[in-house]
Amino acid sequence: MTAPVLETRHVVRDYHVGGGMFGKARVVHAVKDASLKVERGKTLAIVGESGSGKSTLARILTMIDAPTAGELLIEGEAVDIRRHGVGKDLRRKVQMVFQNPYGSLNPRQKIGDVLAEPLAINTTMSAAERRERAQQMLRKVGLGPEHFNRYPHMFSGGQRQRIAIARALMLNPSLLVLDEPVSALDLSVQAQILNLLADLQDEFQLTYVFISHDLSVVRYIADDVMVMYLGDVMEQGTREEVFANPQHPYTRQLFAATPRADVDHIRARLAKRAAVPA
């Protein structure tokens, strides 16, 4: 059996805050004990309210930050960024998409150059090849060659998120960690981006970690769900398990905050699916 694309074992991340002139030092246990596995082509959704540790975990998964304790494995390979750093090949395999791509797009850089840049840094492709690949990727995310020479401010929020996704895919990663990628978008645009992500996942066999506080989005995109609260993993399971029968009081409460119709719709669909023999 091949190794999962992503695995963590008992990951912990503490932050030491304060201790300067103002007050006592204290420790924030941002992530307490997170173990997870994501197989190739699957989506793990991480849900939880603000401050539950989702982005902290995302930074560990993307090797931006090291865990205080525990292990991270990418395609079965143990990663220790403190000890060994992260090689280019490994860095390439894992890419991140943020809620607000505008913050990470250089306002003076044309979109074509934004997309070609990772190729210039990481590959020996010629300028013509880079251009070709960037244009191809623009098409894949639903933009056209006419967008190639435009600047970030000339795009809508949804289009900018398409650009961020295209950039993340330029080096053929196996894993995308998406931190609230549609939370800043209008509902109709959210749906388009979610559909695009689903299509790209199928086409490139991509593995996703999808962070969201929105259960209706999670219901749509997740294979597995992990619920976090104040650094603790409260619940983990398949989408069906977690949505149809939330075990933990916190998860039930989270569901109670979700529009009733959503939960009913999910239950009905699961019941229908269960009734049809596989």
Ligand X SMILES: Nc1ncnc2c1ncn2[C@@H]1O[C@H](COP(=O)(O)OP(=O)(O)OP(=O)(O)O)[C@@H](O)[C@H]1O
**Taking the complex as a whole, how short is the minimal distance between the CB of residue 57 and ligand X, in angstroms?**
7
Out of Mg ion, ligand X, none, what residue 52 binds, judged by CB under 5 to 8 A for its kind, is ligand X
**Number of helical (H) and strand (E) elements in the chain, helices listed first:** 11, 10
- Between 50 and 124, CB nearer to ligand X: 50
**Are the C-beta atoms of residues 48 and 248 closer than 8 Å to each other?**
no
**Taking the complex as a whole, how short is the minimal distance between the CB of residue 245 and ligand X, in angstroms?**
24
Site for Mg ion in 53-82 (CB under 5 A): 55
- Between 55 and 95, CB nearer to Mg ion: 55
- Between 96 and 134, CB nearer to Mg ion: 96
CA distance linking residue 170 with residue 119, whole number of Å: 7
Out of ligand X, Mg ion, none, what residue 53 binds, judged by CB under 5 to 8 A for its kind, is ligand X
**Taking the complex as a whole, how short is the minimal distance between the CB of residue 117 and Mg ion, in angstroms?**
26
Give the interface with ligand X as residue ranges (CB under 6 A).
15, 17, 28, 30, 48, 50-56, 213
CA distance linking residue 271 with residue 113, whole number of Å: 48
**Taking the complex as a whole, how short is the minimal distance between the CB of residue 179 and Mg ion, in angstroms?**
6
Give the distance from CA 4 to its chain's centroid. 16
- Between 65 and 240, CB nearer to ligand X: 65
CA distance linking residue 22 with residue 210, whole number of Å: 37
- Between 104 and 122, CB nearer to Mg ion: 104
**Taking the complex as a whole, how short is the minimal distance between the CB of residue 52 and ligand X, in angstroms?**
4
CA distance linking residue 26 with residue 46, whole number of Å: 27
Structure tokens at 108: 């003076």
Nearest alpha carbon to residue 229 among 245, 209, 213: 213
Out of Mg ion, ligand X, none, what residue 147 binds, judged by CB under 5 to 8 A for its kind, is none
- Between 192 and 258, CB nearer to ligand X: 258
Structure tokens at 248: 């933990």
Amino acid at 35: S
Residue 252 Cα distances to 53, 62, 245, 247, angstroms: 19, 30, 9, 7
Secondary element (H or E) of residue 3: none
Give the distance from CA 217 to its chain's centroid. 13
Out of ligand X, Mg ion, none, what residue 234 binds, judged by CB under 5 to 8 A for its kind, is none
CA distance linking residue 234 with residue 129, whole number of Å: 47
**Taking the complex as a whole, how short is the minimal distance between the CB of residue 211 and Mg ion, in angstroms?**
7
Out of Mg ion, ligand X, none, what residue 51 binds, judged by CB under 5 to 8 A for its kind, is ligand X
Site for Mg ion in 16-55 (CB under 5 A): 55
Please report, as ranges, the residues that interact with Mg ion according to CB under 5 A. 55
